[in-house]
Amino acid sequence: MSDAPIFRPQYHFTPATNWLNDPNGLVYYAGEYHLFYQHNPFEPAPGPMHWGHAISADLVNWTRLPIALYPDEHGQIYSGSAVVDWRNSAGFGEEALVAIFTHHLEHRQAQSIAYSTDKGRSWTKYGSNPVITPPDDLRDFRDPKVFWFEEDGKSGKWVMVLAAGKRVLLFTSPNLKNWSQASAFGPGHGAAEGVWETPDLFKLPVDAGPNFRWVLTVAVADGAPAGGPGVQYFVGEFDGETFTTSGNERQIRWADYGADFYATQSWSDEPNGRRIWVAWMNNWRYASNIPTTTWRGALTLPREISLKTTPQGVCLVQQPVAEIQQLRGDHWRWRNETITPGGPNLLRDLKGTALEIIADFEVNDTLTAGQYGLRVRTGDDIYTTVGYAINSRKLFVDRSNSGQVQFSASFPGTHTAALEPDGDSIRLHIFLDRSSLELFGDDGRATLTELIFPGITCDGIELFAVGAEIRLISLDVYLLEPVTFLEMTV
């Protein structure tokens, strides 16, 4: 029996069949956002990794293309990145796309490259792979993310960040083929309960102004706030060789507080100068057991990331890309309502399994108790609670009773993120799909990303208040239209 109509996301990226994990090779070229991904084409479970491939003109509607990279004598194709070689530094051809990835053999991980001169439709592996072999004792040595670095009129170079145990190694190269190690970051920084994976490094303006900081993001396999894997980030400086942090920027910072946000990667060459990233929306603790059958694994919405100055320092903020708004269909709105504990369900006539919800609730200093928010995907005594707790100043998602939860002891539970009000309201911006929930708290100052598996009949929604009444300043709910997935076999 196919689960497709029940759990298949309507507007999140999934493989047509079988397994997906990390996003890979994100690069924009000639009108197309390329998305490659860790893919086992033989079963909906981890196995021999290939690079699956899709393209999009708008980050919303996708065309799935044939597999781009197959395992070979050097091993499986693990995670990595892609760039446009604008200067033909590698000599593979004008404007070649070059993929830089990990070749994984049972006892060795090494970095290799492949290129395409036909807009990513066909790929040739470099004849002298691998281009970086691990020092003898290093078992975890993977996930190269490469970018072009050029500053102060000096001649440029390629920079690679690579996960190596609980460190990030930085390499530089003139031509993508010959690499030398420039520096290392960690240990002694960040969360180190698990091995580090899929690093990324990029520069972002602070508060959309003239000053820039560098951001190093690193997935860590254990110890994240929701239990298990998560993505941490560091704000610091990068001089082309070394990444450094100082002061309170040494503290651990998490990109997302939900259970299902891992292995982020940002797009190279984004045409509008935005920094957009996407994560694998799953968790290695139960990734192979989630109750889908013909396919397994989805990506988050593409999110635009930026830096904002806060009392805690310069922090990462995430927003869904504006392109998603094209999916908005039927619209309901409420203004200035009071939500009382046990009161009537204002939203009783509203139904949907794919919704965007924007709710602004009042918060002020006289409010010291209570919780409020929304119960979503309700029906048949099933619900997921998304809310804000006034006394602890925390956003939360409780998926204990969200539908199928028994497939892993790690799945049910409540996950939280601290969020101090900035003004006199808190915004809950929620994207619901058939088997996921993404919560952007206060314009993305804190986010929680969670899988949920309610039945298709769980399509209700209600507002709630516990312990005190609360004023709902505004509520907008949009039905989201399904996106188009085209399949192209040649």
Residue 22 known to be catalytic: yes
Residue (64 or 142) nearer to ligand FRU, CB: 142
Residues 268-297 that bind ligand FRU (CB under 6 A): none
Give me the amino acid identity at 417.
Answer: A
From the CB of 18, what's the least distance to ligand FRU, in Å?
A: 13
Residue 79 within binding range of ligand FRU, rule CB under 6 A:
yes
CA dihedral in degrees (435, 440, 444, 445; nearest 10)? -120
- Give ∠ CA 407-412-416 in degrees, rounded to 5: 150
> What is the smallest separation between the CB atom of 21 and ligand FRU, expressed in angstroms?
5
CB of 157 to ligand FRU, least distance (A): 24
* Binding pattern for the stretch 97-116 against ligand FRU, x by CB under 6 A and - elsewhere: -----x--------------
Contact 376, 437 (CB under 8 A): yes
Residue type, 458: C
| Closest distance of CB 430 from ligand FRU, Å | 26
Looking at the DSSP assignment, which residues form a beta bridge with residue 203?
214
Measured distance CA(243)–CA(199) in Å, rounded: 12
Q: Of 8-67, which residues contact ligand FRU (CB under 6 A)?
A: 21-22, 38, 49
Binding status of residue 265 toward ligand FRU by CB under 6 A: no
Taking residues 215 to 254 in sequence order and writing x for each that binds ligand FRU by CB under 6 A, - otherwise, the string is ----------------------------------------
CB of 81 to ligand FRU, least distance (A): 11
- What tokens appear for 452 in the block? 């949920």
Give the footprint of ligand FRU on residues 135-154 (CB under 6 A): 142-143
What sign for the dihedral angle of Cα 417, 422, 426, 428?
negative
Q: How far is the CB of 77 from ligand FRU (least distance, A)?
A: 9
Supply the DSSP string of 403-427, one letter for each residue. S--TT-TTSSSEEEEE---SSSEEE
Q: How far is the CB of 91 from ligand FRU (least distance, A)?
A: 27
For ligand FRU, the closer of residues 9 and 228 by Cβ is: 228
Please choose, from the candidates 3, 15, 9, 11, the residue with its C-alpha nearest in 3D space to the C-alpha of residue 40: 15
Q: Catalytic: which of 22, 256, 398, 459?
A: 22
Q: In what order do the strands lie in the sheet with 18-29?
A: 295-296, 18-29, 32-40, 50-56, 62-69, 485-487
Nearer Cβ to ligand FRU (292/378): 292
Percent of residues in the chain assigned helix, strand, coil, to nearest 5? 5, 50, 45
Cβ count near 190 (within 10 Å): 23
Q: Which of 197, 260, 360, 398 binds ligand FRU (CB under 6 A)?
A: 197
**In the chain, what's the furthest Cα-to-Cα distance?**
69
10 Å Cβ neighbour count for 406? 9
Kindly tell me which of 261 and 464 has the beta carbon lying closer to ligand FRU. 261
Site for ligand FRU contains 78 (CB under 6 A):
yes
Nearest Cα residue to 78 out of 47, 42, 32, 123: 47
Cα Rg of the chain, angstroms: 22
Task: Report the residue from 100, 182, 201, 263 that binds ligand FRU according to the rule CB under 6 A.
Answer: 263
Alpha carbons 168 and 337: distance in angstroms, whole number? 50
Count of residues interacting with ligand FRU (CB under 6 A):
13
Please say which residue, 145 or 415, places its beta carbon nearer to ligand FRU.
Answer: 145
Rule CB under 6 A: choose which of 56, 81, 112, 198 binds ligand FRU.
198
The residues that are catalytic are: 22
**Contact set with ligand FRU (CB under 6 A):** 21-22, 38, 49, 78-79, 102, 142-143, 197-198, 262-263
